Amino acid sequence: MQFWPARRSSFHSRERKVFVIGFNKTGTTSMGTALDRLGYRIGDQSTGELLMHDWSRRRFDSIIEFARTADAFQDLPFSLDFTFQRMDIAFPGSKFILTVRESNKWYDSLLGHHQRILGIDRIPTARDLAECTYRREGWLLEANRFIFGVDDEDLYDREKYIKRYERHNDLVTDYFRARPESLLVVDLTKPDAFLVIANFLGKPLPEGTQMPHCNRAPSH
């Protein structure tokens, strides 16, 4: 697979990376913008999302190769179980940021995001997802199946999705429980979130800089 070049930056670490490993719709796009403002080269998200099939087969070589193209990464496939552990081994000394939000708000945001992609105002069906051409035809259906372990009958089951979301957060915090210097858990709705992130990464935050908020729902 050909990897797109990362966005510009003055930061040139080849060994230590920053991985944002919170689930999609916890502010991962905003984190990408924030890290860019802190001087990191950000990996191309569309390229990362197309590696999800490799992740589903637990083939991490291509993901590690992709991770060598930039300094910081957010969203898929880095927000998935098993990936953060492999990145921790492949890039010792890297920093990990787990973005979180209240579980029901996360689910509502995820559902709303998919509805906007599909241009509908109802619960999406398997056919809707299979015919969607986001990234490539059928990608969105595969993503739901691979990530949430659902079939056509329980797509967007609130309880199942939330349980999966909370399990991921528990796995991350448990993995890093003896290394608090490697993991930051952050809710981007908090007013001091950007300062907390900058301090965790050892980066100066220009006075007056506010946390960017990207991909907000139209009603926000």
pLDDT of 71-121, one tens digit each? Answer: 999 999 999 999 999 999 999 999 999 999 999 999 999 999 999 999 999
Residue with tokens 């209240």: 102
Whole-number Å distance between alpha carbons of 37 and 9: 9
Closest CA to 199 of 59, 80, 38, 69: 38
* pLDDT classification of 208: cutoffs 50, 70, 90: low
At residue 4, the pLDDT reads 44
Q: What is the mean pLDDT of residues 15-37?
A: 92
Cis peptide bond N-terminal to 191, omega within 30: no
At residue 219, the pLDDT reads 40
Query: Among 4-8, 27-31, 160-164, which is the least confidently predicted range?
Result: 4-8
Whole-number Å distance between alpha carbons of 66 and 4: 9
Task: Using a cut of 0.75, tell me whether the model's pTM lies above it.
Answer: yes
Q: What is the mean pLDDT of residues 52-81?
A: 94
Q: What is the mean pLDDT of residues 1-24?
A: 64
Cβ neighbors of 219 (< 8 A, separation 6 or more) are none
Residues linked to residue 42 through DSSP beta bridges, in sequence order: 72
More confident residue, 212 or 188: 188
Burial class of residue 72, CB neighbours in 10 A (0-12, 13-18, 19+): buried
At residue 211, the pLDDT reads 73
More confident residue, 168 or 5: 168
At residue 213, the pLDDT reads 66
At residue 5, the pLDDT reads 45
With a cut of 50, say whether residue 10 has pLDDT above it.
no
**Cα separations (Å) of 168 from 10, 55, 114, 125, 129?**
33, 15, 20, 25, 23
At residue 92, the pLDDT reads 96
Q: What is the mean pLDDT of residues 199-213?
A: 80
Q: Which two tokens stand for residue 179?
A: 């290394």
Q: Which two tokens stand for residue 93?
A: 């000394």
With a cut of 80, say whether residue 216 has pLDDT above it.
no
Chain centroid to Cα 54, Å, comes to: 16
Whole-number Å distance between alpha carbons of 116 and 216: 12
Residues linked to residue 185 through DSSP beta bridges, in sequence order: 98
* pLDDT classification of 210: cutoffs 50, 70, 90: confident
Chain centroid to Cα 118, Å, comes to: 20
